[in-house]
């Protein structure tokens, strides 16, 4: 799964087992006045607990669903047969999970009626005959209704839906079929679905039967590989199906008809991705087909249902959108899950990093394979910075963590980026040969199994011949990353560099007092460059390395392999040398950022720092370095040379990322004659949607008296998913004009506008300082909207504002919503110690 929310917890929670007193305090605090909102007893957060899964004394072997879709009613009817084995002695009754739907009948494999009771999320069935230990038996549940989640109807602009899809992770499958909704209970499955006329379907496995009638089609899909319930899937609707093939494996892409022209570039590298992952894992793609279906209102970026990934339609874009960022990273992430998550599945949600960390890291590896080392290192660096920002809100989380309110709370940067960065570090510890051998061994030894971090440890130890308990204990079982301050000095008589390394992370909350890790240190002296691998292992240590002369530079952690915070003490001349001469892109990024800070703090001596920043902007091979240089020049905001370089980059750079940053940095040079007309020209050139939004922002800043009229005119421009309109509505909220709130309300409620743009209007409206009752009425109205992300924006706006109307709406929604992410936002409004994203 991609684009998950951060975890939500009260801070700090350094221990896995939360004391009873703290639990009581958490619950009580939710009922007390916090942050301007009065007491709200109905809003009581689910306590933080060490979780166990739903327990059932059975082992499910097979699920067989037979359902009839009723899109006009947003409902379905059907049955689910659960074949299982008694695993807990003699059984007289069985509990299955099923929520939000109506049961009409339960029978066993002999057709005998079984008494049942359905309460909350549990279906208790009295067996017609006692089942003995190890005995195979079946229950068929007839049921149906309008699902609240699990199976989503979408499209149709609020009318009759044009398609539907399922989303089971983490524990939403029991909202559309009765099951044991645990990640470690693997079973085969089949889905027989009756479709309305004109609809097509895709599900897990291969289609084994299709019947076409006047009133629709019946498809039957079968998945012979056992898998957890959350990976059982169905997508059905009015789609164009594009057929493809890789190495004998059928590929298909399901796309809404109005977006079919955007599909080919989006999916072009599917075969290359599957081939690369097959090679590095040593396991050829393991399923009979691979489909990718793009749906509206998907609550995440994508979901790795076994052999049948579901994706958001937002990934389908035109050329302008693809210049800002294409769908390749999302495509690779979900494809990687077909191995890490589907073939091997984390045994519990506390181990979810084994799914998400691996999928995130394999995406990095694919970029390294297909785009080169600089791309890999730049993306890893961005990942580290995002992870460190997120970790500041919840620093006491280990990678494996079993304290949470609901499983979805664990899907955060600690398991995505944090997990990937720890694999990145493990690669540095072992070296490429041992690391990739270990990766293949892990896949071979655990295919078709539920796995834990101990399984990963065992595979890598056996493959590499190295003892790795220390690595897993430090990086997986304990929280935190090292916080380092590094400086160096040179002794000419000894011909050596003395590198002082100070680990400054707090000695508390379960993290190690000192991290142990190998680090590559590079010394560039008069004779050239030498790289040394050394181990850090103490709070304070001195490392001595040979150098024939005073070094031109000393680089700590060349390549950026170590997850860390780093303060590197250097003179300006050293940063200048690294910026102009280092072959490592991470070194040049550090240097450009440092030179930008020096230019600001020292009054920007033009002859010292700015020429090098201009040179990096104009000449560096990495778009990330060029963007850093553009940002630094904007922060310095000094000199005609810098302004000319930024203007040239804004017009001519090959990267939309760099153009966008250059346009943002040019605002620092205002007021300057002519920047408004230049911004208008760049906007009208329409290079990409991000550059158009940045050009519009520059124009509005340069010509504030024209801003409202310009934005009103520009808001009529359409783009896929209204992404340009969304960017412009974000700008509209910054315009100082009394007519802005009513305009934002109009766009927020405009049913002809894509939900992504309406969401931007809601967010802009929510950020206005003086919210009116009319604004809050908009937010309250949108709480009932079917679009998940639009509802989230309305909730966030209400939660940020307070007031009687907001309080009442939040309380009502809290009691009715089945979505944990929505509940977290409301809980945070009443208790600011709760962390949300």
Q: What is the mean pLDDT of residues 669-684?
A: 96
Q: What's the chain's Rg over C-alpha atoms?
A: 28
- Report pLDDT for 334: 98
Q: Could you report the per-residue pLDDT of 628-647, keeping only the tens digit for each? A: 999 999 998 888 999 999 99
Q: How far apart are CA 775 and CA 696, in angstroms?
A: 25
Which CATH superfamily is 348-475 part of? Neutral Protease Domain 2 (1.10.390.10)
- Taking alpha carbons only, the member of 318, 358, 548 closest to residue 455 is 358
Q: pTM here? A: 0.93
Work out the angle at residue 716's Cα, subtended by the Cα atoms of residues 712 and 720, and round it to the nearest 5 degrees. 135
Q: Could you report the per-residue pLDDT of 588-617, keeping only the tens digit for each? A: 999 999 999 998 875 555 568 999 999 999
Q: Indicate the pLDDT class of residue 39, thresholds 50, 70 and 90.
A: very low
Start-to-end CA distance of the chain, whole Å, equals 17
Whether 278 shows a pLDDT value over 90: the answer reads: yes
Whether 42 shows a pLDDT value over 80: the answer reads: no
Work out the angle at residue 752's Cα, subtended by the Cα atoms of residues 746 and 755, and round it to the nearest 5 degrees. 80
Q: What is the mean pLDDT of residues 294-305?
A: 97
Q: Are 105 and 136 in contact (CB under 8 A)?
A: no
For every residue of 274-307, DSSP letters joined together read HHHHHHHHSS---SS-EEEEEETT-SSSEE--TT
Q: Are 748 and 790 in contact (CB under 8 A)?
A: no
Cα–chain center distance at 737: 36
Stretch (H or E) spanning 403: strand 403-404
Q: Could you report the per-residue pLDDT of 164-190, keeping only the tens digit for each? A: 999 999 999 999 999 999 999 999 999
Whether 242 shows a pLDDT value over 90: the answer reads: yes
Q: Which residue has the tokens 């007031």?
A: 803
Q: Are 719 and 757 in contact (CB under 8 A)?
A: no
Prior bond of 170 cis (ω within 30°): yes
Same fold, 58-337 and 348-475: no
The correct CATH number of 58-337 out of 3.40.50.360, 2.60.40.1730, 3.30.365.10, 3.30.70.20 is 2.60.40.1730
Q: Are 253 and 244 in contact (CB under 8 A)?
A: yes
Whether 84 shows a pLDDT value over 80: the answer reads: yes
For every residue of 157-213, DSSP letters joined together read GGSS-SEEEE--TTTTGGGTS-B---TT--EEEEEEEEE-TT-EEEESSEEEEEEEE
483-562: CATH number: 2.60.40.1840
Q: What is the mean pLDDT of residues 730-747?
A: 96
Q: Could you report the per-residue pLDDT of 195-239, keeping only the tens digit for each? A: 999 999 999 999 999 999 989 999 999 999 999 999 999 999 999
What are the b/e assignments for 12-42, b being 16+ CB within 10 Å? ebeeeebeeeeeeebeebbeeebeebeebee
What are the b/e assignments for 498-510, b being 16+ CB within 10 Å? ebebebebeeebe
Q: How far apart are CA 183 and CA 721, in angstroms?
A: 34
Whether 25 shows a pLDDT value over 80: the answer reads: no
Q: How far apart are CA 205 and CA 214, in angstroms?
A: 26
Prior bond of 671 cis (ω within 30°): yes
Q: Which residue has the tokens 């309080």?
A: 807
Q: Between 419 and 8, whose confidence is greater?
A: 419
- Taking alpha carbons only, the member of 388, 472, 395, 378 closest to residue 430 is 472
Q: Could you report the per-residue pLDDT of 148-170, keeping only the tens digit for each? A: 999 999 999 878 999 999 999 99
Q: Indicate the pLDDT class of residue 6, thresholds 50, 70 and 90.
A: very low
- Report pLDDT for 13: 29
Q: Indicate the pLDDT class of residue 493, thresholds 50, 70 and 90.
A: very high
Q: Indicate the pLDDT class of residue 35, thresholds 50, 70 and 90.
A: very low
Whether 248 shows a pLDDT value over 80: the answer reads: yes
Write phi, then psi, for 525 (nearest 5 degrees).
-125, -165
Whether 4 shows a pLDDT value over 50: the answer reads: no
Whether 41 shows a pLDDT value over 70: the answer reads: no
Q: Indicate the pLDDT class of residue 28, thresholds 50, 70 and 90.
A: very low
- Report pLDDT for 29: 33
Q: Are 540 and 503 in contact (CB under 8 A)?
A: yes
- Taking alpha carbons only, the member of 67, 212, 90 closest to residue 144 is 67
Cα–chain center distance at 65: 30
Q: Are 651 and 619 in contact (CB under 8 A)?
A: no
Residue 456: both structure tokens together: 């990963």
Q: What is the mean pLDDT of residues 330-347?
A: 98
Task: Provide the percentage of residues in the chain whose pLDDT is more than 90.
Answer: 85
Cα–chain center distance at 134: 41
How do the domains of the chain map onto residue ranges?
Answer: 58-337, 348-475, 483-562
Q: How far apart are CA 793 and CA 821, in angstroms?
A: 12
Q: Are 375 and 367 in contact (CB under 8 A)?
A: yes
Task: Provide the percentage of residues in the chain whose pLDDT is more than 70.
Answer: 92
Q: Indicate the pLDDT class of residue 24, thresholds 50, 70 and 90.
A: very low
Residue 110: both structure tokens together: 């002999």
Q: Could you report the per-residue pLDDT of 645-676, keeping only the tens digit for each? A: 999 999 999 999 999 999 999 999 999 999 99
* DSSP tag of 740: H
Work out the angle at residue 820's Cα, subtended by the Cα atoms of residues 43 and 99, and round it to the nearest 5 degrees. 100
Q: What is the mean pLDDT of residues 415-428?
A: 98
- Taking alpha carbons only, the member of 673, 656, 601 closest to residue 632 is 601
Q: Could you report the per-residue pLDDT of 122-149, keeping only the tens digit for each? A: 999 999 999 999 999 999 999 999 999 9
């Amino acid at each position: 799964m991609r684009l998950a929310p951060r975890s939500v917890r009260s801070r700090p929670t350094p221990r896995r087992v939360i004391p009873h007193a703290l639990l009581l305090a958490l619950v009580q605090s939710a009922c007390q006045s916090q942050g301007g909102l009065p007491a709200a007893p109905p809003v009581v957060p689910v306590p933080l607990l060490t979780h166990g899964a739903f327990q059932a004394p059975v082992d499910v072997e097979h699920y067989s669903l037979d359902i009839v879709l009723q899109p006009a009613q947003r409902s379905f009817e059907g049955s689910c047969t659960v074949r299982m084995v008694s695993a807990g002695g003699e059984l007289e009754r069985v509990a299955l999970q099923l929520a939000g739907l109506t049961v009409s009948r339960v029978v066993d494999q002999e057709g005998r009626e079984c008494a049942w009771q359905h309460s909350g999320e549990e279906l208790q069935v009295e067996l017609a005959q006692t089942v003995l230990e190890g005995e195979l038996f079946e229950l068929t549940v007839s049921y149906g209704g309008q699902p609240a989640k699990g199976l989503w109807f979408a499209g149709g602009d609020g009318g009759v839906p044009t398609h539907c899809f399922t989303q089971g992770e983490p524990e939403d499958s029991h909202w559309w079929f009765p099951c044991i909704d645990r990640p470690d209970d693997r079973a085969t499955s089949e889905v027989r679905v009756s479709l309305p006329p004109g609809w097509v379907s895709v599900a897990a496995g291969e289609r084994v039967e299709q019947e076409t009638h006047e009133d629709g089609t019946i498809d039957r899909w079968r998945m012979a590989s056992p898998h957890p319930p959350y990976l059982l899937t169905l997508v059905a609707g009015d789609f164009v199906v594009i057929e493809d093939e890789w190495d004998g494996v059928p590929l298909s892409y399901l796309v809404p008809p109005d977006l079919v022209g955007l599909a080919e570039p989006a999916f072009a590298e599917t075969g290359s991705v599957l081939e690369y992952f097959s090679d590095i894992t040593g396991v050829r793609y393991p399923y009979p087909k691979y489909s990718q279906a793009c749906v509206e209102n998907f609550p995440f970026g994508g979901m790795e249902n076994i052999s049948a990934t579901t994706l958001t339609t937002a990934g389908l874009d035109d050329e302008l959108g693809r210049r800002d960022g294409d769908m390749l990273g999302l495509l690779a992430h979900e494809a990687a899950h077909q191995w890490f998550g589907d073939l091997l599945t984390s045994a519990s949600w506390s181990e979810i990093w084994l799914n998400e960390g691996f999928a995130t890291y394999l995406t990095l590896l694919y970029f390294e394979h297909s785009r080169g080392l600089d791309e890999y290192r730049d993306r890893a660096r961005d990942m580290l910075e995002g992870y460190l920002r997120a970790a500041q809100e919840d620093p006491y989380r280990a990678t494996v963590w079993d304290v949470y309110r609901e499983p979805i709370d664990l899907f955060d940067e600690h398991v995505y980026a944090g997990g990937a960065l720890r694999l990145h570090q493990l690669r540095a510890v072992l070296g490429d040969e041992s690391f990739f051998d270990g990766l293949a061994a892990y896949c071979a030894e655990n295919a078709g199994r539920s796995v834990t971090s101990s399984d990963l440890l065992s595979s890598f130890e056996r493959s590499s011949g190295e003892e790795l308990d220390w690595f897993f204990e430090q990086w997986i079982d304990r929280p935190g990353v090292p916080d380092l301050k590094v400086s160096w000095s040179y002794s000419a008589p000894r011909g050596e560099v003395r590198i002082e390394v100070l680990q400054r992370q707090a000695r508390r909350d379960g993290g190690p007092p000192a991290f142990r890790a190998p680090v590559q240190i590079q010394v560039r002296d008069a004779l050239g460059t030498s790289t040394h691998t050394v181990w850090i292992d103490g709070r304070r240590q001195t490392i001595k390395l040979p150098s024939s002369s005073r070094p031109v530079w000393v680089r700590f952690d060349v390549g950026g392999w170590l997850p860390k915070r780093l303060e590197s003490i250097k003179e300006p001349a050293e940063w200048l040398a690294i910026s102009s001469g280092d072959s490592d892109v991470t070194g040049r990024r550090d240097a450009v950022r440092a030179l930008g800070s020096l230019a600001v703090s020292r009054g920007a001596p033009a002859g010292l720092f700015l020429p090098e920043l201009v040179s990096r902007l104009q000449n560096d091979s990495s778009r990330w370095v060029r963007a850093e240089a553009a940002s630094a020049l904007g922060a310095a905001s000094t000199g005609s040379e810098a302004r000319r370089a930024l203007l040239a980059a804004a017009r001519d750079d090959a990267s939309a990322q760099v153009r966008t940053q250059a346009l943002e940095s040019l605002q620092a040079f205002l007021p300057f004659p002519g920047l408004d007309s230049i911004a208008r020209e760049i906007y009208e050139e329409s290079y990409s949607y991000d550059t158009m939004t940045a050009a519009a922002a520059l124009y509005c800043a340069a010509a504030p008296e024209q801003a409202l009229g310009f934005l009103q005119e520009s808001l009529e421009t359409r783009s896929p998913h209204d992404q340009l309109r969304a960017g412009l509505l974000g700008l509209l909220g910054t315009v100082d004009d009394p007519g802005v709130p009513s305009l934002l309300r109009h766009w927020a409620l405009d049913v002809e506008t894509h939900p992504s743009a309406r969401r931007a209007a809601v967010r802009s409206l929510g950020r206005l300082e003086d919210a009116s009752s009319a604004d809050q009425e908009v937010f309250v109205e949108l709480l009932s909207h079917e679009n998940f992300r639009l509802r989230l924006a309305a909730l966030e706006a209400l939660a940020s504002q307070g007031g009687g109307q907001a309080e009442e709406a939040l309380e009502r929604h809290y009691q009715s919503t089945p979505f944990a992410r929505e509940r977290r936002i409301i809980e945070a409004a009443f208790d600011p110690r709760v962390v949300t994203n």
